[in-house]
Amino acid sequence: MPACTLNHTAATLTDGSELTIPWWHLDSGRDGEAFLVIAAQHGNEVQGCEVIRRFRAVCERELTAGEVFLVPFANLPALRHRRSHISLGPEQPYGEDSGHNMNRTWPGDPEGNDTERVVHALHEAVVRHCSRALDLHSWTRFIATATLARRNGGLSEEMARASAIRFIQWRNPPTSQTGGKTIGALFNDSGRGSITIELAPQWVIREREVRAGLRAAMNLAKLFGMIEGEPEQLEGPCAEMGPETADHEDRYFELTAPCEGLFVEAGLQTSEHVEEGQLLGHIIRAGDLETVEIRAPAPGYLYKYGAFRENSDVGLPGQHPWADEGDCVAAILQP
Ligand SMILES: [Zn+2]
């Protein structure tokens, strides 16, 4: 049985107070990778916290090689603030971060703002010791759970394929080198492997996504030879997109509202498979109260679902089912 220790890392904040972040460390006592699983860099993205709690129990029973570093509450101040960054107010978008977007500040700065100080403390105590990373995030409920990775023929790509998440979004390495990095870039730029999983939605914890996140963490540990067994595969193919639009545009069908009105979903969920012609929902048209059906133009997996628009991740109006003509109501991606 590997020993699991509870550790605390302290950061001194700008007002002189001390913040401590708790994390777990499990050591098999044998050589192997040092696997980091981190969640809640954004305080409203909380599904990964429960994934980590369950993954800890798996590692306590099954870890046979290497070490695991588990940080369920990476951005504890933002969790307490109940928003993505500590600097955000009501309905303020992620982009207005004032330097407090934790996942743009790695490896942090001990003399920086409070978020940079927390990152610096975590980097020194935890992250710099790790050779592989799984970074758990969440995005809006209207976009399906997806793995974000680099299609580089290397570790990130291999990890993405092992994650058994329906959608893989390939991303190019960031071009700007000013300021801090994402934790994914920190690892992938230094020859260590990392993927991000966006477990939809934010703000809540759902059993389906927690299980998908736990399977991904276990599959990665199996890939790294840290726990026994073969990775558990996805049922059916995964649907890949990017890094360029041209890489998927012939397999991607975005549906927009053909008229103004109230979009009523037909009880489907993102990631579900739909058939060509299947009813996705309808619009109760504003002008004449007619029912306008929205049907799938092609078979595939639901990548987007529901009427939404900008800032649906931070405010309720962005999630309102009242659709303007042209608002996205669904998108289908084929494998
Ligand atoms: Zn995030």
Classify strands 328-333 and 252-256 as parallel, antiparallel or unpaired: antiparallel
Instruction: Find the 265 Cα to ligand 1 centroid distance in Å.
Output: 26
We find that the CATH architecture of domain 250-333 is: Beta Barrel (2.40)
Q: Measured in angstroms, how far is the CA atom of residue 261 from the centroid of ligand 1?
A: 31
Domain 3-241: which topology? Aminopeptidase (3.40.630)
Ligand 1 centroid, distance to 100 Cα (angstroms):
12
pLDDT band at residue 7 using 50, 70 and 90 as cut-offs: very high
Ligand 1 mean position, distance from CA 226 (Å) = 27
- pLDDT per position as a tens digit, 178-223: 778 999 999 999 999 999 999 999 999 999 999 999 999 999 999 9
pLDDT number for residue 74 = 98
- Domain 3-241 matches domain 250-333 at the CATH topology level: no
Closest to 35 (Cα-Cα) out of 18, 8, 59, 5: 59
Residues 126-137 pLDDT 10s = 999 999 999 999
What confidence score (pLDDT) does residue 219 get? Answer: 98
138 alpha carbon – ligand 1 mean position (Å): 6
Q: Return d(Cα 165, Cα 179) in angstroms, integer.
A: 31
Could you tell me the distance, in angstroms and rounded to a whole number, from the CA of residue 277 to the centre of ligand 1?
Answer: 34
- 10 Å CB burial of residue 291 (0-12, 13-18, 19+) is exposed
**How many angstroms does the Cα of residue 139 sit away from the middle of ligand 1?**
7
pLDDT at 152: 86
Question: Looking at 118-122, 179-183, 208-212, 264-268, which range is the least confident one?
Answer: 179-183
89 C-alpha vs ligand 1 centroid, how far in Å? 17
Sequence ranges of the domains in the chain: 3-241, 250-333
Own/partner pairs for 306-309, CB < 8 Å, 24+ apart?
A: 306/141, 306/142, 306/263, 306/265, 306/330, 307/257, 307/263, 308/140, 308/142
Q: What is the pLDDT of residue 177?
A: 62
Ligand 1 centroid – CA 290 distance (Å): 39
How would you classify the pairing of strands 146-149 and 193-198? antiparallel
Quote the ligand 1 centre to 282 CA distance (angstroms).
31
Cα–ligand 1 centroid distance for 147 (angstroms): 12
Alpha-carbon torsion 107, 90, 319, 287, what sign? negative
Average confidence (pLDDT) over 243-250: 96
| Ligand 1 centroid, distance to 116 Cα (angstroms) | 16
Mean pLDDT of 65-89: 98
pLDDT at 170: 98
Average pLDDT, the chain: 96
Question: Residue 317: which of 41, 40, 81, 93 has the closest Cα?
Answer: 93
CB-based neighbours (< 5 A) of ligand 1, an ion = 42, 45, 137
Q: Percent of the chain having pLDDT more than 90?
A: 96
